[in-house]
Amino acid sequence: MSTNLTVIVLAAGGGTRMRSKTMKVLHPIGGRSMIEHVLVAVQSMEPDRVVAVVGHQRDQVGPHITGLLPEAVLAVQEEQQGTGHAVRVAVEALTRTAAGTPMQGTVVVAYGDTPLLTGESLRAFAAEHEAAQCAVSILSGIVAKPHGYGRVVRDEDGDVLAIVEEKDATRDQREIAEINSGILAFDAGFLAEALPRIGNDNANGEYYLTDTVQLARDAGLTVGAYPIDDVMQTEGANDRVQLADLGRELNGRIVTRWMREGVTVMDPATTWIDSDVVLAPDVTILPGTQLLGATVVAEDAVIGPDTTLKDCEIGEGARIVRVHAELAVIGARASVGPYSYLRPGTRLGVGGKIGGFVETKNADIGDGAKVPHLSYVGDAEIGEGTNIGAGTIFANYDGVAKHRTVIGKHARTASNNTFVAPVEIGDGAATGAGTVVRRDVPPGALAVSAGPQRTILGWVLRRRTGTAQAAAAGAAGAAEPGSGEVSHEADPGVSPEAPHARD
Ligand code: UD1
Ligand code: CA
């Protein structure tokens, strides 16, 4: 590790080809902004100081950077007069904050828009630079299409002479396949002397940082160029097409890494995993699955198909099928889906179940508790072992405020209930089908609210004459119209034998 390392990240350019109100380096890829990827790589070098050069939309970019890396020094480049000018602004900002301490050690310059760059590559490059005691080192690359890049010009012995920018290059120089990735390392003392001597007499009228190579050569100092094998690591995304290309590449790398770590991915092409996701061995991911943000999945869990999990925690052996979930915590061996929508604050206990067409939010569902079918569970606590009947609505909103429903352990609530919060249902309590629970139900009690059923015999034959319904009723021996009414006494709608919708 370098003993005195300064890293300068350039991020002042406009990025107009994004055609976006969002600054280029802030565009997300693999669950992070482009510049966050770079800052993560930079941090792994354990630098003594990091300076970020901001300019365009710096009110967006500056806070984003200091949010990620509070100790970063922000240097403002009012006008983008070239990479050499940008680095000069960075060094000036540093000199101001470090009370005029002369620059020492190694300075690495990187760009804020190279999301595939790894810390490993940066560290290896800095180590080579330092071992060779170069004044300047270039992280170069051999590419099939060098157009647009600065070319690394070497003499017949292979020594680096200069970097020539596309616009300033001769026809012969344009044939050179070795390009400057933009990532450079400097001896700090040399850089401080060279910066003021960079001119802008070139095709772009800009101060080129790359002119430092020529300046080092002129002073008889050593210049190194180290081609990186994996050139995509230094590629920037200038427009949204390149952003998608790099996004696919980044994802492919992440998915491959997890497969090597013991995760089964049935279809890598339709599986998207963000950079910060953590997966245990023997997790299985089925096609069409996106694992986003800080999602963590434990061993033997099976996720998918067609599932999106953002910032979720999935327990060992859990089964998640066709689910959209955010900020949910799912216990070991629990089962969710298909077609469930888990909103923030959902917690499902060990062995619990959230079934088909169920929406949950701020819901703490205990171990072994089940919400199997067609329900909305909002602002709720459901005790362990409790079963919620099909089609239950936790009515948490009275039009003004949200309220909680608390249900105890091992309760059995029947189908098509509405719990009008705030309300409590005690341990081991029961409810009848269609009950609207407005009052607390004590432990062990049965609550019913549906009125007694009236059965008017022959009604269909009289009121639906001539329909298929009436014909079917007649054929089944329906009573004549006017045969009277069966009235039922108190009908709780639930008894140990009464059918619940259950799995
Ligand atoms: C630069 C290099 C070129 C290299 C290429 C790799 C120079 C002169 N040229 O060219 O050799 O092959 O990168 O992509 O260095 N920036 C600022 N302030 C400025 C100018 C640029 O912060 O005044 C930042 C940009 O935001 C960007 C980076 O520096 O992140 C590179 O700038 P860009 O204009 O893309 O440089 P190139 O012309 O592509
Ligand atoms: Ca560029």
Mean pLDDT lowest among 103-107, 217-221, 258-262, 330-334: 103-107
**Residue 373 falls in the annotated catalytic set:** yes
Q: Which atom of ligand 1 is nearest to the CA of 113?
A: 30
Ligand approaching nearest to the C-alpha of 55:
1
Into which CATH architecture does domain 262-447 fall?
Answer: 3 Solenoid (2.160)
DSSP secondary structure of 6-67? EEEEEE-S--GGG-SSS-GGGSEETTEEHHHHHHHHHHTT--SEEEEEEBTBHHHHHHHHHH
Under 8 Å between Cβ of 12 and 25: no
Question: Strands 296-297 and 323-326, how do they pair?
Answer: unpaired
pLDDT digits (tens, 9 = 90+) for 199-214: 999 999 999 999 999 9
Integer CA distances (angstroms), 457 to 8, 465, 466, 473, in order? 86, 14, 17, 11
What pLDDT shows up at residue 275? 98
Q: Name the burial class of residue 338, with classes exposed (0-12), middle (13-18) and buried (19+) by CB atoms within 10 angstroms of its CB.
A: middle
Asked whether residue 134 carries a pLDDT value surpassing 80, the answer given is: yes
Atom 26 of ligand 1, residue of closest alpha carbon: 13
Q: Which atom of ligand 1 is nearest to the CA of 85?
A: 23
DSSP secondary structure of 107-129? EEEEETT-TT--HHHHHHHHHHH
Could you give the percent of the chain with pLDDT greater than 90? 92
Under 8 Å between Cβ of 424 and 413: no
Under 8 Å between Cβ of 344 and 363: no
What pLDDT shows up at residue 497? 44
Distance 83 CA to ligand 1 centre (A): 6
Question: Strands 393-395 and 418-420, how do they pair?
Answer: parallel
What pLDDT shows up at residue 3? 79
Rounded Cα distance between 263 and 119, Å, is 24
Phi (first) and psi of residue 253, to 5 degrees: -65, -40
What pLDDT shows up at residue 491? 54
Phi (first) and psi of residue 252, to 5 degrees: -55, -40
Mean pLDDT over each residue of the chain, to the nearest integer: 95
What pLDDT shows up at residue 490? 57
The distance of Cα 52 from the centroid of its chain, to the nearest Å, equals: 24
Atom 11 of ligand 1, residue of closest alpha carbon: 150
Ligand approaching nearest to the C-alpha of 110:
1
pLDDT digits (tens, 9 = 90+) for 472-486: 999 999 999 999 998
Atom 13 of ligand 1, residue of closest alpha carbon: 182
Question: Where are any strands of DSSP class E within 143-228?
Answer: 151-154, 160-164, 178-187, 223-227
Distance 82 CA to ligand 1 centre (A): 7
Phi (first) and psi of residue 257, to 5 degrees: -60, -45
Ligand approaching nearest to the C-alpha of 10:
1
Band the pLDDT of 311: cuts 50, 70, 90. very high
What pLDDT shows up at residue 487? 78
Instruction: List the catalytic residue out of 64, 85, 324, 373.
Output: 373
Side-chain-facing half-sphere of 304: CA atoms under 13 Å: 22
10, 51, 74, 83: residue to mutate for ligand 1 pocket, most atoms within 8 A of CB: 83
Residues in contact with ligand 1 (CB, 6 Å cut-off): 10-13, 53, 77, 80-83, 85-86, 111-113, 149-150, 163, 165, 179-182, 208-210, 236
* Local structure of 100: helix, strand or coil: coil
Q: Which atom of ligand 1 is nearest to the CA of 181?
A: 6
Phi (first) and psi of residue 38, to 5 degrees: -65, -45
pLDDT digits (tens, 9 = 90+) for 398-420: 999 999 999 999 999 999 999 99
Band the pLDDT of 498: cuts 50, 70, 90. very low
The distance of Cα 98 from the centroid of its chain, to the nearest Å, equals: 36
Q: Name the burial class of residue 472, with classes exposed (0-12), middle (13-18) and buried (19+) by CB atoms within 10 angstroms of its CB.
A: exposed
Atom 3 of ligand 1, residue of closest alpha carbon: 150
- Using the Cα atoms of residue 209, residue 211, residue 213 and residue 219 in order, give the sign of their dihedral: negative
- Count of CB atoms situated within 10 Å of the CB of 378: 23
Under 8 Å between Cβ of 25 and 48: no
The residues spanned by each domain of the chain are 5-234, 262-447
- Of 312-326, 445-459, 487-501, which has the strongest mean pLDDT? 312-326
Q: Which atom of ligand 1 is nearest to the CA of 24?
A: 26
Superfamily of domain 5-234: Spore Coat Polysaccharide Biosynthesis Protein SpsA; Chain A (3.90.550.10)
Ligand approaching nearest to the C-alpha of 165:
1
Atom 1 of ligand 1, residue of closest alpha carbon: 182
Band the pLDDT of 2: cuts 50, 70, 90. confident
Rounded Cα distance between 36 and 44, Å, is 12
Asked whether residue 79 carries a pLDDT value surpassing 90, the answer given is: yes
Asked whether residue 445 carries a pLDDT value surpassing 90, the answer given is: yes
Tokens of 371: 């919400």
Q: pTM for the full model? A: 0.93
Q: Name the burial class of residue 218, with classes exposed (0-12), middle (13-18) and buried (19+) by CB atoms within 10 angstroms of its CB.
A: exposed
Percentage helix, strand, coil for the chain under 3-state DSSP, each rounded to 5: 25, 30, 45
Distance 208 CA to ligand 1 centre (A): 8
Residue owning tokens 């002073």:
219
Q: Which atom of ligand 1 is nearest to the CA of 11?
A: 26
Q: Which atom of ligand 1 is nearest to the CA of 180?
A: 12
Q: Which amino acid is at 502?
A: R
Of 195, 178, 10, nearest to 95 by C-alpha is: 195
211 forms bridges with which residues in the sheet?
none
Band the pLDDT of 245: cuts 50, 70, 90. very high
H/E run at residue 138: strand 136-142
Distance 211 CA to ligand 1 centre (A): 13
Distance 336 CA to ligand 2 centre (A): 46
Distance 241 CA to ligand 2 centre (A): 15
What pLDDT shows up at residue 499? 47
Distance 371 CA to ligand 2 centre (A): 54
Distance 218 CA to ligand 1 centre (A): 23
Residues 6+ apart with CB under 8 A from 170: 164
Ligand approaching nearest to the C-alpha of 148:
1
